[in-house]
Structures are given as C-alpha cells and as structure tokens.
C-alpha cells in the first residue's frame, strides 16, 4: 500500500484575471476527477501561513500558480524540488507568492518540508483586470496543466478516476458564486465597472 500524503494546492487571487490560474486548476481537477483519500485538493487563495499546517502534513506537494518567468504568455513550466521556493519569488508579481515562499521556508525551519515539491506554473498574459477571468492563452493551458498533475498523482500512487456526472454542491472547491462560469457570466459591464489597474504595475518599461 502506498499511503504517501499528497497536497494539490491552487494559489493566487482569482479576482485578478490570470492570477486565478492556480485556483481554477484545482477547481477543474476536482470537478473532473476523484482521488484516493490520501490526496487533498485545496484552493489556497492568497493565504500565507494559514496554509502551513497542510503543507507540513504532506509528503508530496503539487502547486498550481501563475508565475512570471519572463516567458511568452501562456507558456507552461514544471519546476521541481529545491527550485520551487526560488521560483515562487520570481519577479515581484504578487504578494501571495511571497507569502507562500515563507510557508515553504517555515515548513523547512520546522523540519516538515514535503519530500517532493512540484510547481506547475503558467506565464500570465494579463493581471491588471480586476474582476476579470483567465485570458484565452492561459485558459487553454488548464487541460495540459491538469494532465501534468494527473501524471504526478499516478506516479505518487494516487491516480485520479474520472467523475461521471456533475459535481454535487458540497464537493465543490470554490463557492458556487465564484465558479468560473458564474464568475464570468455575471461580471458587470466595463461601463459599470472600471477595469484598469495601476499603470505602474502594468509591466511597462519605464519611460
């Protein structure tokens, strides 16, 4: 019997367009597959130290996130082992990454860093769209990202079984109001809701 405890964590802020990639991945993984009981799927949001206990309990940790590697938008990268904490802090993109980098360091400091670390990250196209959803190039990477994760879960002896039928409400990872179709469908119009961010964070070159 393989009872390696696995934590699959989606992190990021789903209110900031492609920042929601991690959470959307874990939401979709949960909607499509069932896993053995030693696997925990979690929407980590932008929580920092709140996530520590779950990380400490895991033997293997797989994180979905949007990470600014300086690649072409939509590029998917898989980062392993000790490279993971370094990439979580790559380019001052989002505070949750700092928070999560600290979680990993705190786990290490307490001697409970998961033995295996995997980061599946996508290069975002757009962050400065508050209330917006994933851009097409990023959304297109959901399925490939899930496939990478399923391969890891297979390797860790915890293969996913496709669900038949829709997910019951209580099994959903995010609240129904935030589910991607509702979130996108009920968005107020650009006329009603200003959509631009702070231009200093638009990743423009200094002029």
Partner 1 sequence: MGVYETQGFKLDNTGKRVVVDPVCRIEGHMRVEVNLDSNNVIRNAVSTGTMWRGLEVILKGRDPRDAWAFVERICGVCTGTHALTSVRAVEDALSIKIPDNANIIRNLMQLNLYIHDHLVHFYHLHALDWVDVVSALKADPKATSTLAQSISSWPLSSPGYFRDIQNRLKKFVESGQLGPFMNGYWGNPAYKLPPEANLMAVAHYLEALDFQKEIVKVHTIFGGKNPHPNWLVGGVPCAINLEGTGAVGAINMERLNLVKSIIDRCTEFVEQVYIPDLLAIGSFYKGWLYGGGISSKNLLSYGDIPNIANDYSTNSLLLPRGAIIDGKLDEIHPVDLRDPEQVQEFVAHSWYKYPDESKGLHPFDGVTEPNFVLGPNTKGSKTNIQELDEGAKYSWIKAPRWRGHAMEVGPLARMVMGYLQPKQFPEIHGLVDGALKKLDVPVTALFSTLGRTAARGLETAYCVKLQREQFDKLMTNLKNGDLNTANIEKWEPATWPKEARGVGFTEAPRGALGHWVTIKDTKIDNYQCVVPTTWNGGPRDHKGQIGAFEASLMDTPVAKADEPLEILRTLHSFDPCLACSTHVMSPDGQEMTSVKVR
- Asked if 137 is part of the footprint of partner 1 (rule: CB under 8 A), the reply reads no
What letter would DSSP give residue 78? E
Structure tokens at 25: 């991945």
Shortest Cβ distance from residue 46 to partner 1 (Å)? 4
By CB under 8 A, tell whether 168 contacts partner 1. Answer: no
Close Cβ partners of 22 (under 8 Å, ≥ 6 residues apart): 9, 10, 11, 12, 44, 63, 64, 65, 66
Q: Whole-number minimum distance, CB 198 to partner 1, in Å?
A: 5
β pairing state of 6-11 and 39-45: parallel
| Among 7, 8, 10, 13, interactor with partner 1 by CB under 8 A | 13
- CA–CA separation, 149 vs 93, rounded Å? 24
Residue whose C-alpha is closest to residue 123's, from 50, 19, 34, 48? 19
> How far is it, in rounded angstroms, from Cα 66 to Cα 53?
23
Does 171 help bind partner 1 (rule: CB under 8 A)?
A: no
Q: Binding of partner 1 at residue 178 (CB under 8 A)? A: yes
Nearer to partner 1, 78 or 150 (CB): 78
Among 5, 32, 36, 47, binds partner 1 (CB under 8 A): 47
- Positions in the binding site for partner 1 (CB under 8 A): 13-16, 19, 42-53, 56, 86-87, 89-96, 98-99, 101-102, 105-106, 108-110, 130-131, 174-178, 186-188, 192-202, 204-207
């Amino acid at each position: 019997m393989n009872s390696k405890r696995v934590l699959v964590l989606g992190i990021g802020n789903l209110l900031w367009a492609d920042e929601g990639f991690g959470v959307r991945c874990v939401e979709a993984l949960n909607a499509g597959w069932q896993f053995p009981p030693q696997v925990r799927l979690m929407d980590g949001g932008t929580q920092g130290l709140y996530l520590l206990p779950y990380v400490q309990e895991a033997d293997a940790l797989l994180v979905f996130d949007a990470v600014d590697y300086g690649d072409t938008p939509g590029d998917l990268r898989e980062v392993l082992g000790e490279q993971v904490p370094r990439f979580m802090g790559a380019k001052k993109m989002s505070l949750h990454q700092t928070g999560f980098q600290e979680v990993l360091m705190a786990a290490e400091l307490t001697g409970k860093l998961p033995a295996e670390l995997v980061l599946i990250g996508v290069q975002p196209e757009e962050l400065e769209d508050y209330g917006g959803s994933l851009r097409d190039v990023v959304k297109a990477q959901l399925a490939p990202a899930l496939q990478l994760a399923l391969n890891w879960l297979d390797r860790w002896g915890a293969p996913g079984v496709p669900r038949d039928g829709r997910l019951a409400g209580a099994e959903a990872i995010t609240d129904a109001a935030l589910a991607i179709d509702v979130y996108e469908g009920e968005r107020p119009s650009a006329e009603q809701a200003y959509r631009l961010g702070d231009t200093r964070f638009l990743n423009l070159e200094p002029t």
